[in-house]
């Protein structure tokens, strides 16, 4: 009963924000009449892809973050560069995005079942939701009804870098309507997947241009990472081929399970990224991280709430935008 009440409050809060903008509301089961099997089709394609490659799961969760942080959750990260326009996906922070072909496969299946009905923006949100459920039993209902944006520009991409401070990342999150609890919860996805060496080079060799490594990093962790990430120069042009290391070296179930082990690594001083390790500093972030480390159910519930909140950032609804027929290009 309590969890249902809290979830209802969350949905009401999301709907209230949208209502204040005088736009039609997102709603649960938006496609119930126009495409009854839409959510089932998304789930089946994601399941099939994940069965072949487990790295699909963290990639789809990450994709929602990269889409929603620029122009809101409008699917603009999927648009290809064309005609002299450099699109979002070709901006440096997005060059390491993966599994965009899974979104293409979902869209193709939906277009066969219900042509011109389901937006690419909703596909991103639903695919991320299903990935979270498959990776860590994080289950939640996602209101749908998003429309697709028609503008995608690399010049507008301003994503918090994995090497920024927690305070700077929190400022960026607050700017899109999320808070310290949301940031702390969503960083929990860093228990999954891999990190390019470029994002830890400063901690390993030259923290803040001091010529020395980060002394707050666990010595054993630093030695392990230095073995995988020797000193080298990385540019945006070769970043996608840079060496990778697991995001959470202490994950008990490997790099594709979404659980609360990330927070135990953080509190033990063994986080890979600087932003993650700063969760162990004093104040609210540490308190929330400790709560999640001790309570896997609390982590799953908050991660679900924060994903719904993220998926509701600056959405297009009603007659705004369009429903793209091909997620990689705007309709002609």
Look at residue 121 in the predicted model and tell me its pLDDT.
98
- Rounded Cα distance between 292 and 266, Å, is 11
| Least confident range of 35-39, 117-121, 244-248 | 244-248
Look at residue 234 in the predicted model and tell me its pLDDT.
57
Long-range contacts of 17-25 (CB under 8 A, 24+ apart): 17/177, 17/312, 18/312, 18/315, 18/317, 23/315, 23/316, 23/317, 23/318, 23/320, 24/145, 24/317, 24/318, 25/143, 25/145, 25/317
- Strand-pair partners of 245: 195
> What digits encode the pLDDT tens for the residues 169-219?
999 999 999 999 999 999 999 999 888 888 888 899 988 888 888 888 889
Question: How many helices, marked H, and strands, marked E, lie in the chain?
Answer: 13, 2
> What digits encode the pLDDT tens for the residues 7-20?
333 443 444 444 33
Mean pLDDT on 115-120: 98
| Annotation says 196 is catalytic | no
> What digits encode the pLDDT tens for the residues 264-279?
999 998 999 989 998 9
Please give the helix or strand (H or E) that residue 196 lies within, else none: strand 194-196
247 three-state secondary structure:
coil
Residue 168 tokens read as 């700077």
Q: What angle do CA 64, 74, 162 make, to 5 degrees?
A: 35
Among residues 66, 190, 232, 253, the one annotated as catalytic is: 66
Listing DSSP states for 168-193 in one string gives HHHHHHHHTT--HHHHHHHGGGGGSS
Q: What angle do CA 321, 170, 236 make, to 5 degrees?
A: 70
Residues 6+ apart with CB under 8 A from 248: 190, 191, 192, 255, 261, 262, 265, 272
Look at residue 11 in the predicted model and tell me its pLDDT.
43
Residue 192 tokens read as 């999954």
CA distances (Å), 57 to each of 103, 136, 172, 183, in order? 12, 10, 25, 20
Look at residue 10 in the predicted model and tell me its pLDDT.
42
Q: How confident is the model at residue 164 (pLDDT cuts 50, 70, 90)?
A: confident
């Amino acid at each position: 009963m309590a969890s249902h009440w809290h979830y209802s409050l969350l949905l009401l809060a999301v709907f209230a924000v949208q209502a204040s903008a005088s736009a039609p509301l997102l709603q649960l089961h938006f496609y119930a009449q126009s495409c009854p099997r839409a959510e089932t089709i998304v789930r089946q394609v994601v399941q099939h892809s994940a069965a072949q490659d487990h790295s699909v799961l963290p990639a789809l969760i990450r994709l929602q973050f990269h889409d929603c942080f620029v122009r809101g959750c409008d699917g603009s990260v999927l648009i290809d560069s064309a005609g002299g326009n450099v699109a979002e996906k070709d901006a440096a922070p997005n060059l390491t995005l993966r599994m965009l072909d899974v979104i293409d496969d979902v869209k193709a299946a939906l277009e066969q079942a219900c042509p011109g009905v389901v937006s690419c923006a909703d596909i991103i949100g639903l695919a991320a939701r299903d990935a979270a459920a498959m990776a860590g039993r994080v289950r939640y209902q996602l209101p749908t009804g998003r429309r697709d944006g028609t503008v995608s520009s690399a010049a507008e991409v301003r994503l918090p870098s994995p090497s920024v401070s927690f305070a700077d990342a929190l400022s960026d999150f607050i700017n899109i309507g999320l808070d310290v609890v949301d940031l702390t919860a969503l960083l929990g996805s860093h228990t999954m997947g891999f990190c390019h060496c470029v994002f830890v080079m400063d901690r390993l060799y030259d923290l803040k241009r001091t010529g020395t490594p980060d002394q707050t990093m666990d010595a054993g962790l630093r030695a392990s990472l230095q073995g995988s990430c020797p000193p080298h120069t990385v540019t945006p042009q070769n970043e996608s081929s840079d060496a990778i290391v697991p995001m959470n070296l202490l994950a008990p179930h490997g790099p594709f399970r979404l659980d609360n082990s990330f927070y135990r690594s953080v509190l033990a001083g063994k986080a890979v990224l600087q932003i993650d390790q700063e969760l162990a500093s004093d104040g609210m972030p540490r308190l929330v991280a400790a709560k999640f480390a001790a309570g896997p159910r609390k982590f799953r519930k908050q991660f679900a709430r924060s994903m719904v909140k993220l998926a509701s950032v600056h959405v297009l609804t009603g007659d705004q935008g369009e429903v793209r027929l091909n997620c990689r290009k705007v309709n002609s």
